[in-house]
Structure 1
Amino acid sequence: MRKQFAVIGLGRFGGSICRALSRQGMEVLAIDKDEERINEYSSIATHAVIADSTDETVLKNLGIRNFEHVIVAIGDNIQASILTTLILEELGVQKITVKAQNDYHEKVLKKIGADQIVHPERDMGERIAHNMVSNSVLDYLELSDEHSIVELIASAKMNGKTLIELDVRANYGANIVAIKRGEEVIVSPQANQQINKGDILIIIGADKDITRFEKQLLD
């Protein structure tokens, strides 16, 4: 069975999630107060409905509690975002992900039961900044305030060395969880796995440890 998602708010963030889920074959209910946006996504989402998500009766009638995951992607209206999240929680929705505008907004969302809170603009800014600072960083994903997953390009210093020779965990406190080599992806590589210059290393660890690894082992 296809997973059922509802996306509330079809701005840039909500719209991109709606498109991505639809491309993956998921069942998507798109909700927005703007008729033009609903018309735009009527051919993309499984269902597209003009509705006010701050009206509990409307959400009940849409059967929102039957959806496995609801994404609240409301733009600048923090009050509407908070009220919608509160209603979804009270209706017993299994998983609620909400776009936060700022830290205060996030604190309120946590208190009222949001399962996952995202800051798309801030997170994208972090990723772009990391890419700008280092030519070796391909991608960056913040896991918490202090931990991240980073994609790095293996340098000439690492060429021909095995993971046990580098001993990244002991020397840097980080873990290489996968290696991409062309079309091949090596998941949970063994200690005797050799690294080639140009391999893409997926590393998880504390930010300070990953930074130290970058400075000492990358070009």
Structure 2
Amino acid sequence: MAVIGLGRFGQSLALELMDDGVEVLGIDAREDVVQSLDGRLTHVVRADATDEQVLRQLAVPEFGRVVIAIGSDIESSILVASLLRRFAVPTIWAKAVSDAHGLILEQLGVSRVVSPEKDMGRRVAHLVRGTMQDFIEIDADFAMVKTALSPELAGTRLGDSGIRRRYGVTVTSVKHRSGAWQPATQDTVLREGDVLLVTGPVRQAERFSRSAS
């Protein structure tokens, strides 16, 4: 996989991929950044990723997946996206720094646009105002939430709890107080101190989480 732009987001992504055993080509125009990552990525080069010939020399058109992690230089981000589309790279992910930037990337045909700062702000807002322990928005108005079990449900079978009927969410996994995460079934007995993973529309998931407070 190639990661173009090695700022905080790009570095974090590239190093995480390396930890997962993925070979990573990192590209950045800053010499100090490239030097700091030398030996930590499979390959890391200082290069102008807006230059088509440079990308061809680095064999970027042969990659199946490329991430454009360029930050504030919107013009460069858009130009790189255009080049990758010209190369017919199968999967292109790109970081957007604004809604307008994201819209342009989508119009160019980028496979997936991510907005790390915006997504994190939305996530923290849900956590701050509620009783959720974690919140991941899977799609528009649909989320996975980590939350405590309401004391009133302790001792009941999941199938008898009425959670889906009352709250419109689905319990997917349960972690007992001194155990590991387990897939939830209709026969799972809910216990005091349990932590649940539930999925469902955001408002319903928030309402279910508040029931535990």
Q: Is 2:197 aligned against 1:202?
A: yes
TM-score by length of 2: 0.93
Deviation at 1:183, TM superposition (A): 4.6
* DSSP 3-state at the match of 1:137: coil
Query: Is 1:37 aligned to residue 40 of structure 2?
Result: no
> Counterpart of 1:110?
106
Matched, 1:13 2:16: no
CA deviation string 1:88-143 (max 9, x = no partner): 11101121111111111111111111111111111111222222223x31211112
- The amino acid of 1:218's aligned partner reads A
CA contact (8 A) 2:132 2:206 kept: no
1:186 aligns with 2:182: yes
Q: Which residue of 2 aligns with 1:27?
A: 23
The CA distance in 2 between the partners of 1:95 and 1:64, in whole Å, is 12
1:127 has 2:123 as partner? yes
The alignment status of 1:81 with 2:77, answered yes or no, reads yes
Alpha-carbon distance between aligned partners in 1 of 2:169 and 2:109, rounded to the nearest angstrom: 32
What TM-score do the two structures reach when normalised by structure 1? 0.91
2:212 aligned residue: 218
Aligned residue number for residue 142 of structure 1: 137
Consecutive unaligned residues of structure 1, counting only runs of 5 or more, are none
Runs of 4+ residues over 3 Å off in structure 1: none
1:18 to 1:183, Cα distance in 2 relative to 1, 3 A: farther
Which of 68, 90, 95 does residue 91 from structure 2 map onto? 95
Q: How far did 1:24 drift?
A: 1.3
CA deviation after TM superposition for structure 1 residue 150, in Å: 1.1
Amino acid at match of 2:212: L
Write the distance in 2 (CA, Å) between the matches of 1:30 and 1:131: 34
Give identity over the alignment, percent: 34
The alignment status of 1:63 with 2:35, answered yes or no, reads no
